[in-house]
Structure 1
Amino acid sequence: MKKHYNIIIAGAGGIAQAAGLLLMEWSEVPPTVFIGNRTLSKALKVARWIEDGTTKPCTVKAFHLPVEGLTEEMKEILGQGDMLLDCLPGSLAPKIAGLAKDFHLHYANLTEYVAETIEITALAKDAPTGFILQTGLAPGYINILANLLFQQFCSDFEVDNADKLEFKVGALTSHAIAPHYYGFTWSPVGVATEYLKDTLVLRDFKKTRLPSLSERAAIIIDGITYEEDLTSGGAADLPDALAKKVGILDYKTLRYPGHYAWVEEQRSGLGNTPEAITALQHKMEAVIPHIEDDKIVLYAAVEGRDNEGTLYRREIAKQIQPQRVGRHQLRAIQIATAAPLLQSAQLMLESLSSGVVLQSQIDPQPFLNGNFIVPVYGKVLAPQKSLE
């Protein structure tokens, strides 16, 4: 951030923590940050954590964000805010987006929930401020990276379509044990949701809906074998934006071999209702531990033919490790999610866009080389065409 802003963060979990700390450490002009949570003590704890962790002068204020209604304190804070970062569970996103619209705030969220994203898109279409949606890791960074690969492929090979566009992310632990081969590094309800709700893909250049966990395959990335499978939400709006341009497009989640077979046993007969999501979450939480030592593995690829019919494939793979920021060590999932959220927020504040901005509408090259992104993901350079 190159000027002073008042940034409101809704939520006091791990991503909210990381976002607050990155704002202080990596903004040219540190903002004033307001942390709101339904449990005030948790918001106060996060505010102190940010203050203790930053090496820069900072102002961090905690406030009570009730489940229902508005307090006078909230009205005052919302009235002076520039940007509202929604780090709450996705089910609450329409409510928080409504506050942003009512108080003329720019808004950014993280949720992969499809129905809530559609609801916010309708709510914010005539808003005077900007609403940038699904801005985290997946959906978020991975979609912009995939879109860049597609754009560069078409430009370099002078074509207007591709056979395949694949993008995959795994939030993983360094080690995994039987029978589940997994450890929670982020929200268990988010994991259960993406395993049960349908996913949007392109097949034969047309958008279609497929069941999650219905196209499992093995993939080797940097010499390590993972399993990939369809999960909901990660494709963001690319199936709409690239229909008729890409034959096969999908988002898949990466896991260690054996995990998906175990999940299939747990979700047998559950369906994909809200009750089923809760049931699967409880089944997983009963045996899967929460683990602090994590890593992010991501992969994107485009495949197609040049105008002479030769088949080409371009791939990018990255691994994100925990990283020290200021005086705190951030987990990989925290920093990999918070950085794209803040790059999106900066984009919104500096462009002063209005209405809804989706992932396909973001100019990939400047975003992927932005000041919040590069320290986490590194630079993304245009590939060099071979000379023949």
Structure 2
Amino acid sequence: MRVALLGAGHIGQTIARLLNDSGDYQVTVVDKSEAALAKLGAGITTLCTDTGDPRQLLAALRGHDAVINALPYHLAILAATQAREVDCHYFDLTEDVAATRAIKQLADGASSAFMPQCGLAPGFVGIVAHHLTQQFETLHDVKMRVGALPAFPTNALKYNLTWSVDGLINEYCHPCEAIRDGRCLEMLPLEGLEHFSLDGVEYEAFNTSGGLGTLCETLQGRVRSLDYKSVRYPGHRDLMKMLLEELQLKDEQDTLKTLLRKAVPSTMQDVVLVFVTVSGLRGGHLVQEVFARKIFADRREDAPLSAIQITTAAGVCAVVDLFREGALPQAGFIRQEQVALPDFLSNRFGRAYQQSRHVESIA
């Protein structure tokens, strides 16, 4: 399969190497930064072009079977539009709700496939949640909790930059979809604070935007409550709420992003936490099923990978691989929950989640 991979950042580079090393994909990495493309090294085809220019992007996509979009979320609609123009299958990592809705409209009647939100959350967590819901006759509550956290928090925010600052601020500032009492509604970001512990470590979780993907639409009328929250170490939410609301940096997002990039160090030493609970009736009894897992960074000296690189790249590579094998619809809009969890975990790329450590104790 000939794949145009848009974006040569940390995630894009990981995707490129995984697909290229598999031997089943001809990958061309497209980015506007020569420096970023140079980091890919020999053996991977690259193209330096302005990915924000519609005509240049269209030319870059021609001749490919599929496009994987690993660009910032605000370019998702442009990339999907140009993919439809050249009849190219489209996959991305966006968590942006508005972009996903627009891509769903683009997919209507298309002869090619459109599958956004193929990362960790939205993405893998939705596959897990939907799989668990199939085990119940009557659904009550679905709770999805995901965190990409520093393994060694040292600052007041108890946070290090592990992925896109643009994506981080986006999920902190936009309304959050949820289901309450069987009705779809929007919740405020940073609200709904709760605390829990795994393996003796204390965490907090609060509403953030985008993590549910299309599950609200899929489960509406079947579930009593459904929500998604980001996991952080205790105290993080209050400080972000102060920055965004009290200092009004929600209205000065470029300023906030500059401050975070300047003052908050990035780290490759991170851990990804996935914690999903589903409750309901089975055989007339109230039952709860839990999926809890931690994925750690790969600290090999020759090719270190952060946990967020591993999980995000594995997510999109696995669904593209399943699509190539014919395990997913070949046209129109594809939801993450159409992926069978056993198929995902047995896939050569999805095994990155299977090989992670199961959490033994939950409180």
TM-score (norm 1): 0.85
> 1:324 and 1:32, CA in 2 relative to 1: closer, same or farther beyond 3 A?
farther
The question of 1:128 aligning with 2:111 is answered yes
State how 1:1-388 maps to structure 2 within 5 Å. 5-25=1-21, 27=22, 29-43=23-37, 45-48=38-41, 51=42, 59-66=43-50, 67-71=52-56, 75=59, 78-152=61-135, 154=136, 159=137, 161-269=138-246, 275-308=251-284, 310-323=285-298, 327-351=302-326, 353-378=330-355
| Structure 2: runs of 5 or more not aligned | 359-363
Contact 1:164–1:248, Cα closer than 8 Å, also in 2? yes
Q: For 1:42-65, what per-residue CA distance to the aligned partner results, in whole angstroms no more than 9, with x for missing partners?
A: 22x1331xx4xxxxxxx4111122
Q: Work out the CA distance in 2 between the residues paired with 1:325 and 1:361.
A: 34
Corresponding position of 1:386: none
Count of residues in correspondence between the two structures: 355
Q: Root-mean-square deviation (CA), in Å?
A: 2.3
> 1:134 and 1:321, CA in 2 relative to 1: closer, same or farther beyond 3 A?
same
Tell me the CA shift for residue 303 of structure 1.
Answer: 1.3
Contact 1:192–1:278, Cα closer than 8 Å, also in 2? no
Contact 2:268–2:305, Cα closer than 8 Å, also in 1? no
Tell me the CA shift for residue 307 of structure 1.
Answer: 4.2
Tell me the CA shift for residue 92 of structure 1.
Answer: 0.1
Q: For 1:322-379, what per-residue CA distance to the aligned partner results, in whole angstroms no more than 9, with x for missing partners?
A: 2268951211110100011011112222326101101223233312332211134339
> 1:287 and 1:202, CA in 2 relative to 1: closer, same or farther beyond 3 A?
same
Identity across aligned pairs (percent)? 28
Q: Please tell me the residue identity of whatever aligns with 1:35.
A: V
Q: Work out the CA distance in 1 between the residues paired with 2:85 and 2:288.
A: 47
> 1:317 and 1:125, CA in 2 relative to 1: closer, same or farther beyond 3 A?
same
Q: Counterpart of 1:328 in 2: which secondary structure?
A: coil
TM-score (norm 2): 0.91
Tell me which structure has the larger Cα radius of gyration.
1
Tell me the CA shift for residue 162 of structure 1.
Answer: 1.6
